[in-house]
Amino acid sequence: MYALPPGDAGGGRKGEIPMEIARKGYKLLVGGAWVDGTETMPVIDKYTGETIGDVPVASREMTDRAIGAAREAFPAWSRTPAHRRFRILEKASQLLAKHQEEIAATICREAGKAWKYSVGEVSRAVETFQFSAEEAKRIHGETVPMDASTAGEGRMGFYLRCPVGVVAAITPFNFPLNLVAHKVGPGLAAGNTLVLKPASTTPLTAIRLAEILEEAGVPGGVFNVIVGSGGTVGEWITTDPRVAKISFTGSPPVGEGIIRKAGLKKVTMELGNNSGTIIEPDADLDAAVPRCVVSAFANSGQVCISLQRLYLHKAVAREFTSRFLEATSRLKVGNPLEKDCDVGPMIDEGEARRAEAWIREAVAEGAKVLAGGKREGRVLQPTVIANARAEMKVMCQEAFAPLVCLYEYEKFEEAVRMVNDSPYGLQAGIYTNDIRKALHAVDRIDTGGVMVNDTSIFRVDHMPYGGNKMSGLGREGVRFAVEEMTNIKMVVIKP
Ligand code: NAP
């Protein structure tokens, strides 16, 4: 997902980027105590390869303790009045804002995200926590007209929304702060306790968030953060019967595996996509071209709603392509810590090699690289591909890399059909000023969101957000995450 606040690229900020993000030794937060592990794992700067932190790896026993602490803390936290939960979450939001640059530097280094987008991510997390604070005050049920049934005559009915208990949050590397915030903020607002397992490649931001939550007044045991691989810590959390809900963001195969093992736990799944956007002949190209460039290449395309398939009407395809290539050629690729960097490294070299291999495979099958295609270590140049066919990996699978395929079409209905021709269904975009076409797209495209006069990548943090088909189950966006993290309790009173 990506939406920079309009006009706020972060790159124009005054002052130097803090290079020394923190200490090298980190601890995990378990039951209100900062603890070491018997083993540690290094976290590296994704551009330089330098080790920027050593993080304890949670053992089975530590994982058990974290879940136990969350379980123990649940009765008191779930009864903590809404106004107090509001104040704690609001304070967390303020502290994130206060430490914005330092946290952005951590994101920049551990995720390899360009500075302006790292700053943008912290701004968004500030809002996500503010929305969560506000939401804490308006969690309520409603009355049910019992006498609509003859059997209900004379009874009064209403339902309450109750916290579910321990929520396990399992999060990906690409938004190490805001996607954690989307689980922790609503979870705490609703009165749940949490155990967070961040991505192994980007745990430092999550640990920093734990410090901030502690400072904001979250009581011991209510929020726990443990680090370790998905195959160990992730699986232990998934199968633990004390966990009431798993809120997962990540890849579809891992999500599917979690569902298989989770049994009857509640689950929310925020998964991948190969997002499409349509450019109709009446589109405002001045707006569409730069927005499409950002949508394809922000965070090196490692965004779940990154623009991967761009359908261009043949009447504008030539002009759009030439302007798109020109704008792409102006992107600054390299060190994410440089304030004017647009595209940094990918998360690891293996992923960059995989994307490069997909590009080569597409070329071998007849596609043409119009820009980029070259890789150096983890850095893949922003890549524009023409003549790709629907069955090529660069089109039909999630690329999660700085690459976009341009596809020319003649009929609008054909473009809508092609956007839908995907196992995924997270978000899609269409540029048109014809309301009938916009409404047709809204009606026919099977995704969790359709953006008109924007690309698939648009998101603000209070809107309902989530996917259809292989893109997931349930919705996030603070109010909607609260709904997913609460149980309905029906009360019927017979006087
Ligand atoms: P990933 O490989 O699926 O990992 C996500 C998280 O799951 C990590 O914390 C990972 O731990 C953990 N995990 C791995 N195997 C596990 C297991 N067997 N049991 C429990 N947990 C396990 O995803 P990623 O590479 O970090 O992120 C990229 C994917 O996330 C893309 O598909 C992207 O589209 C998707 N995504 C979706 C959204 C959305 O809102 N829909 C947003 C962002 C990203 P380790 O790090 O230790 O492997």
Which tens digit of pLDDT belongs to each residue from 427-458? 999 999 999 999 999 999 999 999 999 999 99
Mean pLDDT of 328-349: 97
Query: For residues 76 and 219, is the Cβ–Cβ distance under 8 A?
Result: yes
The Cβ of residue 144 has, within 10 Å, a number of other Cβ atoms equal to 16
Q: Given a cut of 80, is residue 273 above it in pLDDT?
A: yes
* Phi, psi (rounded to 5 degrees) for 223: -130, 125
Separation between Cα atoms, residue 428 and residue 306, nearest integer Å? 10
DSSP 14-51: SS---S--S-SB--EEETTEEE--SEEEEEE-TTT--E
93-149 residue pLDDT tens: 999 999 999 999 999 999 999 999 999 999 999 999 999 999 999 999 999 999 999
346-361 residue pLDDT tens: 999 999 999 999 999 9
Pocket test for ligand 1, best of 43, 304, 427 (most atoms within 8 A of CB): 304
pLDDT-derived band of residue 22, with 50, 70 and 90 as boundaries? low
- Closest Cα to residue 1, out of 383, 465, 493, 315? 465
pLDDT confidence of residue 308: 98
Separation between Cα atoms, residue 40 and residue 140, nearest integer Å? 43
Query: For residues 183 and 247, is the Cβ–Cβ distance under 8 A?
Result: yes
pLDDT-derived band of residue 78, with 50, 70 and 90 as boundaries? very high
Structure tokens at 317: 């395809």
Separation between Cα atoms, residue 355 and residue 334, nearest integer Å? 17
Ligand 1 centroid, distance to 251 Cα (angstroms): 5
Mean pLDDT of 158-175: 98
171-223 residue pLDDT tens: 999 999 999 999 999 999 999 999 999 999 999 999 999 999 999 999 999 99
If you ran DSSP here, which 8-state letter would residue 189 be given? H
Separation between Cα atoms, residue 446 and residue 452, nearest integer Å? 14
Strands (E), 341-381: 368-371, 375-376, 379-380
**For 433, how many CA atoms within 13 A lie in the half-sphere containing its CB?**
7
Task: Determine which of 19-33, 44-58, 156-170, 376-390 has the lowest per-residue pLDDT on average.
Answer: 19-33
Q: Judge residue 205's burial from the number of C-beta atoms within 10 Å of its C-beta, 0-12 exposed, 13-18 middle, 19 or more buried.
A: buried
Ligand 1 centroid, distance to 196 Cα (angstroms): 13
Structure tokens at 380: 């893949």
Mean pLDDT of 329-341: 97
**Ligand 1-lining residues (CB < 6 angstroms):** 170-174, 179, 197, 199-201, 229-231, 234-235, 238, 249-251, 254, 257-258, 270-272, 304, 398, 400, 426, 467, 472
Percent of the chain with pLDDT over 70: 95
Q: Judge residue 473's burial from the number of C-beta atoms within 10 Å of its C-beta, 0-12 exposed, 13-18 middle, 19 or more buried.
A: middle
* Phi, psi (rounded to 5 degrees) for 114: -55, 145
pLDDT confidence of residue 443: 98
- The residues that bridge with 490 in the sheet, in sequence order, are 159
Q: Which residues are catalytic?
A: 270, 304
Average pLDDT, the chain: 95
pLDDT confidence of residue 1: 45
Q: Judge residue 318's burial from the number of C-beta atoms within 10 Å of its C-beta, 0-12 exposed, 13-18 middle, 19 or more buried.
A: exposed
- Give the rounded distance of the alpha carbon of 406 from its chain centre: 25
Ligand 1 centroid, distance to 431 Cα (angstroms): 31
Separation between Cα atoms, residue 171 and residue 191, nearest integer Å? 20
Separation between Cα atoms, residue 118 and residue 174, nearest integer Å? 10
Separation between Cα atoms, residue 315 and residue 8, nearest integer Å? 33
pLDDT-derived band of residue 25, with 50, 70 and 90 as boundaries? confident
The Cβ of residue 300 has, within 10 Å, a number of other Cβ atoms equal to 33
pLDDT-derived band of residue 287, with 50, 70 and 90 as boundaries? very high
